[in-house]
Structure 1
Amino acid sequence: MNSHPPVSQSGKLPLGMLGLLLLSLLSCENPKVMLSLRNGNAKQADYELHCDVFDVAPAQNISVTWYRNNKTFKSFMDLIEEPQKKSYILGVNISREEKFAEFRCEVQLKLEELKPQHPVISTTHQLSARYAPELRTNFSKIITVAMGGNATLLCDVEGNPPPVYQWTIDEQPMLETTNRLDITQVNSSSNYRCTATNILGNTTMNIFVDMEENYTTEPPAMPTPEAPENCGLTVMPSEVYVKYGDSASINCRTTSKDAALMDWEHAVGETYGTPPSVTWKIEKLEDFTVEPFCFVTLDTDEQCKVKPNITLYKLPDTVAISAVGNGPMKEGEEHQLQCHIYSVAPAKKLLVKWYKDDETVLNDDLKSSDVTPLPECLNDSTVRLCNVSSIYTFTVKKSDNGSLFRCKAEFQFGPAGPLVPPSMASEPYTTVVHYKPTIKNCPSYAGVENSFRLNDLPCETDGNPRPGIEWSYNGTLIDSSKLLTRAESGIYKATAHNSMGQVNTDVNITVEYAPRLSCQMMYEVEVKNTPKLLCNAEGLPHPDITWFKNGKEHFPQHWEKHESGNYSVKASNKHGTAEHAFYLDILYPPEFTESDTTTKVVVGGNVSLVWEADGNPKPEIHCNDSLAENVRASTVGRQKIITITGATSTNAGRYICVATNKVGEVTRATTLVLKDKSTDLSQHWWVFLLVLLVFAILVVVFILKGRRKHGQYDFPLQTRLTVENGTM
C-alpha cells in the first residue's frame, strides 16, 4: 500500500512538509521516460509495452498516463519509494479491422498542492494487428521448368509478426529462411514445401516443380579429375560443400586391375573399404584447410592420385542491423544502416541482400562495399572465420517510419553449389523516422457552452516525435482544457509542433447555447402595428419564438384595440427553452364620441357644452373656452364640460376642443348661436298657457250658451235643492 505525507485536519500540508516538498521540487528534475516494445503472450495480449521511468527522487508521487491514438487509455498514480527504475507494463491487442494503433506514455511529477511539472512524453510506437500466417492464394502451385533451367519459388503468405520460413524438398529440410527460393539447374521433378510460422500459428504451401526433359540437348559432361588415364581413378562426388560441423563422405573408385595399394591421404577423418573402392569420412568437419586425396599404386609402382574439391562453409554466428551514427533518422536526410555479420567463412563468397518490408532494395557483394577498410579475409586466399559488414545508404522518407529492414548473408557458390544457397537473415530492424507534424480532421466545429473544450475537437496530429498542440485566439495562447462560453466563438489557430518543425491550421469555433429572454413586465404597442418580438431573445442556433395570450398560442396579423391583456413568449432551440410573461397594452389615438355640432342659447340663458373622447392612454381634452366670468370649464371622467350662465353676445362663437394622448390627437368643434328672447317662444311659455286657458274658458261658455237655447240647464246641486224646497 502506498504511503502519503501526513496532512493537517484542514486538508492542507503542514508548513514543514510543504517546505520539504518545495525543496524537493527545486532540487529534482523531471524523470526520464523510455517506451519499449515486446511481444506479448499470444493467449493474453498481442504486445507488451514497457514504460520505464528513470531518475526519480524517492518519495515522489508521479502520474502515469497511457495514450492510445492520442486519447487517454489508462491513468493512475504511483509513489516512488526508492531511487530506482520503475517499469509500467501495458498489454494491448490490435484487431484486424483496426489494422494499427499508436501508443505512448506520459509521466508527470505530482507534489501535493504544488503546481505539477510539465509531463515527460515517451516516443510513440505504432503497433499493427497480429495474426497467424495465412495463404494469399488458397491452393498449391505446379511450376514446369525445363531440365537444367532456373526458377524462383514464392511462398505467398502474410502474417504479423512476420513469419519465419522453412523450406523442404521432397521432405528433406533446406537452409533457406525467406519467402523466396531460387533454384538453379533443375535436374529432377521435386515437391517443395514452405512452412511459414510465427508465435500465433503456421501454415504450409506446396509447390511442385515439374522438370520437362529436353531430349534434343545432350546432358552436360561431368568434369573428370586430372589423373592418368591408366589409373582409372574417380571420386564421387568430385565437388563437395560441407556446412561447418557437419559430416562428409567421399568415395574413391578405380577401374585399374593392377592396383597394388589404394587409400586416402588425410589429416583428419578416417577411411574404410578395400580396392577397388575406398571411402573417406569425417563426422564433424571444422578444418578449413583440409585437403584429402585418394591415391592408387599400381603393380608397376606407378602412382596416381585424385583430389576432390571440398568447400567448408560456416554460416554467421549472428547477423544484425544497427544504425550508423547516434542521431535520429530525419525526413529528407541521408541515413545509413549497417549489417554486421559475425564469424563467417568463406566471407568472399557472401552476397548481402537488403530488404525493406520484404522488398529487395540492395544486393551487396561486399567487394564493392561502402565499408572501409575492407577486411583482409575478402582479399586473401586463406579461408578463415571473419567478421564483415555491409552498409545500406538511403534518403529517409516519412513513409519509412515503422518500416522493417532486414539483411541476409547468402553464400554464392555457383551452379555446382547447393541447390538452395545457404543463408542467414537478421532480425527485423524497425526504423523510427523523425518528421514534421501534420494536422487533419480539424474542421469548423460547433460546441455547447460550458460543456465544450478545444481538447474535445476531433483533430488528429501526426509527426515524430509526437507533436504537441497549442491553441491561440487573436495571437494569445488559450488553455485548451478550459470550458468555452458564448462570447468565445471565433477563429482559433491550432499549432502542432515538434523538434522537426510546426504546422498551423485555422478552425472556426461556434459556441452554441440555450435561449435566454431579456423582457420587461409590461409593453405598449400601437394599434394596427404589425406584431414583432418585444423581448431581447438570445440563443444559438437562433431560437424559434412562440406567442401566447392567456395560455393559448396567439399571434395576430395586426394589433387591435381589444387585444390588451396578459401575454407570454417562449424561445426554443435544440439546447433548451426560455419563457417570460408580461402585460401588453394596446395604445390607440383619441376619438370623440360625436362629430361637430351647433348649439343655440337665448340671451341670458344657460347652456352646457360637452365633449367626450375615448383613447389609450386616456386622452387630455383642451378647449379654447372663453375667459368670461359667466363661463366655467370642468372635466368629468373622459368628458370636457363648458358651462355658460346668463349667456351674452360675447359667449357666441365656435368652441374647439383637442383630445390628445401620446399616440395622436383629434379635434372637434361646437358652434354656439345666441338668440333674442322675442324670437324665442320657449322663453314665454306662460303666455301660451294664458291664451290656452282663455280659449278653454270661451269654449266652456259657448257650450253652456248652447244648452240654454235648447231648454237644457244644469244647476248646481245646492240650487236645485232650494227650488224644490220652495226657496229661491
Structure 2
Amino acid sequence: MLNVSKFGLTGLFILRQMYILVAALTTEEPPADTNGPVFTEDVPSTVVFANTKGASIDCTAHGLPPPKLNWIRKDGTVVKDIPKVLQVLPNNTLYFLPFEPNLFQPDAHSQEYRCIAKNKGGKIISRPLRITAVVVDRYKIYNVQLNDVWVISNGTAILKCLINPRFVNEYIKVTKWTQDSKPITDHDRVSAMNNGELHVRNVQDSDASLVYRCVTRNILTQDTKTSPAASIHVHDPPVIWKTPNIETTDTGLIIQVGKTAELPCVATGNPLPNYKWTKGSKTIVSDKKKFEQKGGNLVIHNLTVTDSGVYKCGVFNKKGSTSVSIQLTVTSPLSATLYPADQIVDAGRVATFNCSVQGSPINEITWYHNGEPLTNSSRKHIIVDNRLQLPAVNRNDQGMYQCIVGNDVDMSQATGELRLGAAHPAFLETFDTVLVQPGSNVTFKCAVSGNPPPTIRWTLDDELIYSSDITTIKTYATEQADVVSTLHITNIQVQTGGEYRCIGSNVVGKVTHMARANVYGVPYVRVLQNITATANQPLIMKCYVSGYPIGSITWFKASQALPIDHRQKVVNGTLTVEDVQSAYDDGDYTCTAANSKGEGMSRNVLVRILVEIYKYDSMRLVNYDVSEDIP
C-alpha cells in the first residue's frame, strides 16, 4: 500500500537514509542488438524499356531485424499496385508489365523512384532510379538519310547519318558504316565518330567512285535499317582565298577511363588550314602512343582521369584563324565507402563520418540521415566536402547515415550506422499538477530516454511508492529503448495528495520531475521524523502538506512563530536554520498548515543538536562527539 509517512531530511544524514530505503522499479529487458539496414546492391540509376517487353527492378537489403522494404516516388508517396501497369511483388521487385499504348501513364512510366529499407536501427534510401517506358510504335517508323558531300582535294569529308524524325534519335544508334558494301574500320584516313559521323581525310579523286552507307539499329526493337548510298565529290580549290571555318559542332565528350577519345576538329578554307591542339598553356604533340593527330582530329589513347579538361583546336591559314574548345570528361565508376561504418558515441560527444570516394568526376556529395537529406542549414551538424560532423550527439542523431555521390553518368552510395553510447536520462513526456475531488482516480505518466535505458521510480513527498491496492505502476520500454511509466492512483484522498515525483536514472545520472496532486479538503500535515543535526551546520526541514486550498504553512518553536532571527528562513513550508547551535536550536518544532477558515493540523518534530568539541589527548587534539559520554 501507499506509504504516506514523511521521512525527515537534513544534510548527508538524511540522504544516506534515503539511499538505504529506496528500491528502484525494474523495467522490461532492453531490446536485442540491432543492425541497421544495408542495401545488398545499388538499384540502377536509369531503366529504359519498351512497352512490349516491360521491366523489373530488384531492391534487397539486409539487417537485424530484417528490414521492411518499400518503393517511393519522387514526391515521397509510397508506390502501390496499378492494375495492368505496375506491381510491387512480395520480394519488393518493382515490376512494370508490358502494356498497350493506350495504357501509358506518365506518373508511372516516366517517373523517378527510390527504394526505402527500414528497421529498428534506422532507415536508408537508394539512389534515384529514372524509369522511362517507351511506346515502341512511335519509334518504329523512321528514315535514315545520307547525303552526298563536296570537298576540296586533300580536305576532310564529313558524312552525316541523319535520322528523321529527329525525336527518335535517342533510341537509334549508328552501328556501322560500309564502303562499297564492305564494313569500314577506323584507320589513318577514316574515323567513325560516336555522334554518327564518318570522317574521310585527305580525299582523292579515287574516292569519288566509292559508295558509302550507314547502318542503324533501333535499341527498342533491335531492328536495323541501312541508308541510301551516298558519294564524296572531289573538286579543285576555289580561286579566291578563304579564312578557315570549323565544320564540326561537338563541344563536349564524356568517355570512360581506359577508352580512346577522338576529339573532332574539321575545318574548310583556302588554302587548306593547319591544326594546333592545346590544353591550357601546353601544346599537344602527337607521339603516336598517347596522342595522335588524324587530320584535324585529336586522338587520345588509354584515357586516364587526368586527361579530363578543356582542349582547344586552333585552325589557321594565310587568310586567318579560328578555334573551338572541347570539354573532355573522363569518367571512372564511382564507389563510396563510409567510415567508420558503425560507431557508438556517448551523448554530448562528437561523431564524424568520412565519405571516401573512388572514381571520377565527383560532381556532388549528398548526406542523408534515416532517409532524409542533410544540409548545412542545421546547427546540429557540419558538412565540409566529404566529412559530416555531429558536434554534440543526442538521441535524435542515432540511426543510419548515407553519403550519395554522383556525376552526370554515375552514382553510388555508402551506409554507416551511429548508435548512442552512454546518455544522461532526459524526459520525453511529463505530467502537470492536477486539482481533483476526493475519491477521484488520477493517472500520471512520464517517459524517459537514456542509455543504458533508465529505471523509473515514483515518490510522494519524497517517500517511495510501490504498487498496492490503491496505486498501480506500469513501466515498459519502447522499440527505441525509451522507458515509459504510468502511476495510477485509485480513490485519491487528501492524505494521498501532495508532491508526486517521477525519477529516471541510469549510471550516467538522473532526472526528476515533480507536480502536485491537489485534493480538495482541510490541509493535512504529513508525519515528521525526529532529526539529529550537527552543530555549526545548516538544518533543513520540509513540512509536507496536502489538501486544497492551503492558506498558510507556519513553523513554531516554543509556541513562537519562526523566523525570529537572521539565521532562520521559511520558504514554501521549508525551514532553514543556518549554523545551528545546541543552546538555541535544540528542542521541539511544530509545523502548522491551515486554510483561510483556520482549519488545518499540526505536527511536531524533535530536533537534537550534536555538539563537536576538542578533547586534549596527551600529544594531540581529537575531534570528540559529546554524545559519546551520554548514557
Question: TM-score if structure 1 supplies the norm length?
Answer: 0.23
Q: Which has the larger radius of gyration?
A: 1
TM-score, structure 2 as length reference: 0.26
The answer to which structure, 1 or 2, has the higher relative contact order (CA under 8 A, 6+ apart) is 2
